Chain A
Amino acid sequence: MEQAIYQELPAERMEEIEGLFAEIRKEFKGRADELIPMLQRVQRALGFLPEQALLEIARLTRLSAARVFGTATFYAQFRFQPVGKNIIRVCRGTACHVKGSNRILETIEEHLQVTPGQITPDGLFTIETVACFGSCALAPIMVVNDSVYGSLNRSRALKLLDEIRVREEGLFK
């Protein structure tokens, strides 16, 4: 079945979104130029932009839903699907490319059996690519959540993933 582009936040998380918007109403005036900062605020809190949030932002800013959806989809930063617990971002900048980042990406894809933008079935990982992180002197690099790892090779990349898995599974026990 083909997945829809936009997804709603599940009913059990509705309170989260209501609380978030209560804050957003205080922080923002609802001007049109606040649209992108609002989208960023929602994504920072929820990890992605659920359909209800996009519609709520349209109401708050008095912009058409088309304008809000159109702007959100224009920018690479915004996601419309939930993300895994850990976001693995592989840099695809020029320096990383000439130093073999595509091979690192392939290895990770193969290891986790997902492609960029997808979430692993266990919900542990989402992989993404990013145009350039600006840490080119340490290419190739990969960013795990907010930590940057430089001078990578395939085995180090896989080791990092395995370390996270061990840590997460340890938590379950």
Chain B
Amino acid sequence: MDFTLIKERAEKNWKALENLRQPLIQIGMGTCGKAAGADEVYAAAKQTLKQMNLLGRILQVGCIGTCYLEPIMAVRKPGGPFIYYGNLTAKRAEDILLSYLRDGDPKPEWAVCFTGEGPVDGIPRFEDLPMIKPQVRIALRNCGIIDPENIEHYIARGGYSGLMRALQMNPEEVVQEIKDSGLRGRGGAGFPTGMKWEFARKAPGQTKYIICNADEGDPGAFMDRSLLEGDPHSVLEGMLIGAYAIGCNEGYIYIRAEYPLAIKRLETALKQMREYGLLGRNILGSGFGFEIHIKEGAGAFVCGEETALMASIAGGRGMPLSRPPFPANKGLWGNPTNINNVETLGNVSAILAQGAKWFAGFGTEKSKGTKTFALAGKVERTGLIEVPMGIRLKEIIHEIGGGVAKGKKVKAVQTGGPSGGCIPADLFDLPVDYESLTAAGSIMGSGGMVVMDEETCMVDIPRYFLSFTADESCGKCIPCRLGTRQMLDILNDICGGKGTIEDLEILKDVSETVQKGSLCGLGQTAPNPVQTTLRYFHSEYEAHILGKKCEAGVCKPLFHYEIDPETCNGCGVCSKKCSVGAVTGEKKKSHSIEPDRCTKCGACYEACKFHAVHIC
């Protein structure tokens, strides 16, 4: 089929949707949306339309990024703007639809924002929301806007025009375009994508492979999942462009089994691509042929490492190999192989569509374009964000994220997951680019960004990450296998009140050995959480060891709860919440906690509305 005809038809259908003479309702149905109750909202919307005898369309869309507002519904009357509502229940969704569609009142007090033709009284524009204003969406350009299971939506929004452009260029020119754009790998290490492609292109060999690394293993990261759920074609198009540039006809997507919805969306997308002639032996009559297979991971963090990932695809234990040879020369089944992260490929399709120069206009000198982050933890507005490189951490945390939740004090931000580090609040002026984050001891990483407040213990955090990396170490090389275990043992001692000041010296020593001596990225970066906390939060380690105190109230042997008799009014909520009967006191008189019985579960602390329970 001719692409011009496909595009015309897609645009016609998209236009018809835009000019729909009936109400159009969009509901965010990503994993997060569903977890928050989007299915119930969907059912309620369907039911309410029926009840009003209204013909209307309900569209399932991906994640729009304001995850803290899930479940989210957008409602449009014919010719009007989309009005967004958040934190919905089935009942609230019904009330909104009745009020807006039947009585004409959009209920501004419940609305979050609007998109399209405005203004709307009392409702801000989407782009003016403090969370959205600093953002630039390239990789996430379609997320939350299109139906991810409808290829025509993607095409109507400019999709596959990048591929069309690439197919009219020489493969070398495509490589050069990506080089000119300055795109660097979004999986974390930041290697220039164009160079990587060139290595694989120039490597001798008949059979070559391209792999999309969707093994998003960092705990605290969900960018790739959201992109695959919300706009799978943007990634698949990037993969096709890469395959054409490198000269390969077969590709794999290695994706975590924990992402069933993303897998389903990919399968649907591949089926549609085949129907539209965008996959197979002769793509759109260009003579270029390509096939994509999906491989489900089986739960091993180390498989995010390129050589381990390929061992896993081949059906073995996911254990890394030493390099050289590099995958570009000797990868999957010994053939030249190129591996790119999900977000990198999502950017590739945009670059080919809009040009290298356009892309390079965003970001800093060495870090071009944008980066997506999964903003989570103790921040007011959690979500999936995309920001231009070079933005300052404080802008992300305070403006986009709205600062720390519940009026607590922000302590640090963690980037890069188990391979990254904790950056303290006094460094929040730091620009977000590959070099600055590395200089601060952390890494850009794949995009996990977890905000921590005064109730987060900065000795417990490295312990948490080390328990993860020690568990996930494949065991092949000794520095990683034993080193992570050793660091974890020391941190367990410190958190358990058994640490000595000499431990800190040993910890530093071991961390350097693991960093320098490990075979792959897992071990080389596993010490980062330890080293950054030792560097920025040394006093917390000392308080644990010398003062036997965990001020954050996390390490159980190092703190206890007390009820302040002045503040306590004897409401009795805490004693009801206590499952071991440790809180006692007469009604309307101040209560107290029996230290011997208390398990430090924190139930009373969380329950007390008057902040009378203190961490001591």
Give A residues with C-beta under 8 Å from B: 31-37, 39-40, 61, 67, 70-71, 74-78, 92-100, 103, 106-107, 110, 130-139, 141, 146-151, 153-154
Contacts of B219 in A (CB 8 A): 92-97, 131-132
B317: which of A39, A61, A71, A130 is its contact (CB, 8 Å)?
A71
Contacts of A100 in B (CB 8 A): 602
Contacts of A151 in B (CB 8 A): 36
Q: Which partner residue on chain A sits nearest B223 by CB separation? A: A134
Known contacts A95-B377, A98-B378: A103-B315 contact under CB 8 Å: no
Q: Which partner residue on chain A sits nearest B579 by CB separation? A: A110
Q: Shortest Cβ distance from B420 into chain A, in angstroms?
A: 10
Interface contact B314-A95, CB-CB below 8 Å? no
A33: which of B313, B376, B606 is its contact (CB, 8 Å)?
B313
Interface contact B376-A136, CB-CB below 8 Å? yes
Of the A-B pairs whose beta carbons lie under 8 Å apart in the complex, a sample of 26, sorted by A's number, is A35-B316, A36-B312, A40-B257, A61-B315, A71-B315, A75-B297, A75-B300, A78-B299, A94-B376, A94-B417, A94-B448, A95-B382, A98-B378, A99-B378, A106-B601, A107-B601, A133-B31, A134-B31, A134-B222, A134-B256, A135-B35, A137-B374, A137-B376, A139-B382, A148-B35, A153-B606
- B273 contacts partner chain A, Cβ-Cβ < 8 Å: no
A149 to B39 alpha-carbon distance, docked (Å): 12
Contacts of B414 in A (CB 8 A): 94
A131 to B47 alpha-carbon distance, docked (Å): 38
A139 to B468 alpha-carbon distance, docked (Å): 18
Q: Shortest Cβ distance from A154 into chain B, in angstroms?
A: 7
A98: which of B299, B450, B606 is its contact (CB, 8 Å)?
B450
Interface residues of B in 224-266 (CB under 8 A from A): 225, 256-260
Instruction: Name which of B317, B378, B456 has the most chain A CB atoms within 10 A of its CB.
Output: B317
- B216 contacts partner chain A, Cβ-Cβ < 8 Å: yes
- B388 contacts partner chain A, Cβ-Cβ < 8 Å: no
Contacts of B602 in A (CB 8 A): 100, 103
Interface contact A138-B257, CB-CB below 8 Å? no
Q: Which partner residue on chain A sits nearest B225 by CB separation? A: A134
Q: Shortest Cβ distance from A24 into chain B, in angstroms?
A: 15
Known contacts A76-B298, A137-B68: A95-B220 contact under CB 8 Å: yes
Contacts of B305 in A (CB 8 A): none
Contacts of B298 in A (CB 8 A): 36, 39-40, 75-78
A107 to B474 alpha-carbon distance, docked (Å): 31
Known contacts A138-B32, A139-B376, A139-B377: A40-B258 contact under CB 8 Å: no
Known contacts A93-B220, A97-B464, A132-B221: A148-B313 contact under CB 8 Å: no
Contacts of B256 in A (CB 8 A): 134
Contacts of B601 in A (CB 8 A): 103, 106-107, 154
- B218 contacts partner chain A, Cβ-Cβ < 8 Å: yes
Q: Shortest Cβ distance from B457 into chain A, in angstroms?
A: 10
Contacts of B378 in A (CB 8 A): 98-99
Q: Shortest Cβ distance from B531 into chain A, in angstroms?
A: 17
B299: which of A61, A75, A134, A148 is its contact (CB, 8 Å)?
A75
Q: Which partner residue on chain A sits nearest B374 by CB separation? A: A136
